[in-house]
Structure 1
Amino acid sequence: MNNASKDQEIIAAAIAINAPFVGRLRSRTLVSSRWFALIGQFITVLVVHFGFNFELPLLACLLTIAANITLNIIITVGLPPQRLVRQWEAAAQLTFDVLQLALLLYLTGGIANPFCLLLIAPATIAASTLQPRWTLSIVGVTILSVGVLALYSYPLPWNPPGGFMLPALYQFAMAFAIIIGLLFTASYAWRVSLEESQLADALIATQEVLAREQRLAALGGLAAAAAHELGTPLATIQVTAKEMLRSLPPKSLDLEDAELILSQAQRCREILRNLTNQKEISESVTETLPFGQLLEEVAERHPDLGHKAVLFDIQGPEGKGELMVIRKPAILYGLGNMLENAIQYANQAVTVSAKWDERSVRVTISDDGPGFDEVVLDRLGEPYVTTSLQGPINTNSREGMGLGFFIAKTLLERSGAQVSFWNNTGASRGAVVQTVWPFSAIAAKS
């Protein structure tokens, strides 16, 4: 299994862990919000009835408020406050809030009551925290409640009683405005919540990939240290076995055992020699290395090039010697991901150009393929944005680069770089990815 397949599995597992099997609302959040609303309802009813001396069905209003208070007490006593409520539980509570508020508005003027705008609140909460099916059910109940309030309700509390009546056309216009506001607010909250959720999933995947790179580097260091430490005792065993072979008579029973010890010691030394000579392990414990060697390591992570070539063009200021840089897993993975995509969609060659001066270090990866799709070029690098050319999927199509590009871009930016994408113009077509670091962000301290 190659590195790309492993990264795909890591990403899928990370997103699956963050999948919304349960709600995103804690029990105490809904309870505290409901207490705040109930206190406001209670104070408003008392002020309207006793402060302004408006006639309203006080007992029915208080019983409606008491029903919601009872629900809140039951939830407070029966459920732990830190518990994440399930999707259907949150939907049921928010639906009850809509119906309770609608009944209170029915008793106090219906659609003519200025507080009818509060019907938008439960649906907005649902849109930002629940799955679409539950949100649509709450929106449907709210729209139905607004329609009923536009047709039937007690008169608005006023002096004299019944002295304030809105025209029927205006009431229907109010209902229509509330419904439009409800749909707009809920859709806006849903869109913002969806983007936030996708960004959270992608960041989790980014952290998992970076953690994997760091674990691999640590494993390489452990392997190199083990090879170094085990070399001396194995050499001692080998020397001792040779001395035993010299001293034992030809037909001794211990001769076969001594030969076995010697062969196994030689085998262990060969394994350790191969382990030490592996470039990936020996370099993984290097904190600083030449800039050109860093780019070569990035290219060596993708040995399956087919008939395509990777060309390097590394330039620095004259008389400055070789640039020593800090070896960071984030840089290796980020540049490796960009290079992998360039190799995948190139026709014949990929060019890696590197330039630096006293202020910045610049790496430009360009290919001779079809380039990025212009439709999504401005959004490339955002999570779950894929680029795909029109027509059948073939070697000239770019797809599946949404999350991968986002991870690579995020890791490079965390290392201090700025990443930009564009297409070459004119005869030399192809995609270009440029990464620019401030000199101090990547250069090793001398």
Structure 2
Amino acid sequence: MLQLIQLRWIAVIGQVVTIGVVEFGFGIRLPLQLMALVLATLVLLNILSLLRLRFRGSVGNAGLFVALAFDVAALTAQLYLSGGATNPFISLYLLQVTLAAILLEVRWAWGMAAITSACCLGLTLTYQPLELPDHLSGDLFRLHLQGIVVCFVLVAALLVVFVTRISGNLRAQDANLAAMRQQAAEEDHIVRMGLLASGAAHELGTPLSTVSVILGDWQRVPALQAIPDVAQDVEDMQAAIRRCKAILTGILLSAGEARGEAPAVTTLYAFMEDLIGHWRLSRPAARLTYDSSFGEDVSIVADPALKQVIANVLDNAYEASPSHIRMTAVRDAEDLVLTVSDDGPGFVPDMLAQLGKPYQSSKGKQGGGLGLFLVVNVLRKLGGGVTARNRPDGGATVTLRLPLSALLIQKASTHVS
């Protein structure tokens, strides 16, 4: 509709120029008052169209068809007042038909073709003939040819300009719809994964409790306690069971099945230190260097999902480079930027090209590649993004960018409530 409004402004200016040239340049008398009324109607139509777009943004086929029909009516009125079908500018009807064929559904496009054909036929039957001055009577054919050339150039230029714009808009719309469909499919995939993880967590809770009870009974058996190695093994197994239960609790918490706990209010520095501490505790062999130059600390609402995705990135770096991992946290304007680097082999080109797609993994594991998939989608939900690159000196770098507005207490508490 905006393209049609711009085209209508061009039509108004073009008609004013044409009428001025014909009336004052060639000395051909025209019904200026009636033509000015048509121009004023086009201006009013443009103002009403702009107001409609401001208060009602959506425009369907019917609205576009009506707008094009008004343009056809205005062109028909001007042609009727200036020679009808003998006017070389009658070819401007083709512009309306072309726009209708591009913008509208088939039935609406055929309707516009029928309307313009009827108007063209009507102008061959009834119109107000032009009264040519005596000095132009002998040059009538030459003037008609000149008018045809001007009309052809005008139609060709307008078609190139507006059809390319409209085609670009349609391509952008198609690309946006495709991206939305892809995002919806990925979110549906995440929902299914969450349901499966939640169900698995519930199912695993019972056997883990059973094993924990059995180990507790073993710890009370004097014969087993008398053997130091066995007693230590039982204690290690108990610690492993507690670790598994903590992981399952985290899964249920991320799936929205926490035991009535409110989101934890903390600070960014405390959140990061807690995350790093827990990750180091679960990976005692890992060498993680963490550096924060964020600046002034801010209060945030801790998001378990965000904690999990950062841990996923660290886990991927640890698997690629167990010897050394580097992580930095900086503030870039109103964004939190986390960078994780490793000294591993880096990403293969296919993975960089399809970053965040499920089951894109270089580890050769069945069902692998879901870690970065979850990272990308969680960050996208929070308004951020993920980028990855290979470093020239070896290794890979993953950068997480997250708007602070998604974590700050004012924003987050409003979202939670």
TM-score, scaled to structure 1: 0.41
Between 1 and 2, higher relative CO (CA 8 Å, sep ≥ 6) is seen in 1
- Return the structure number with greater helix share: 2
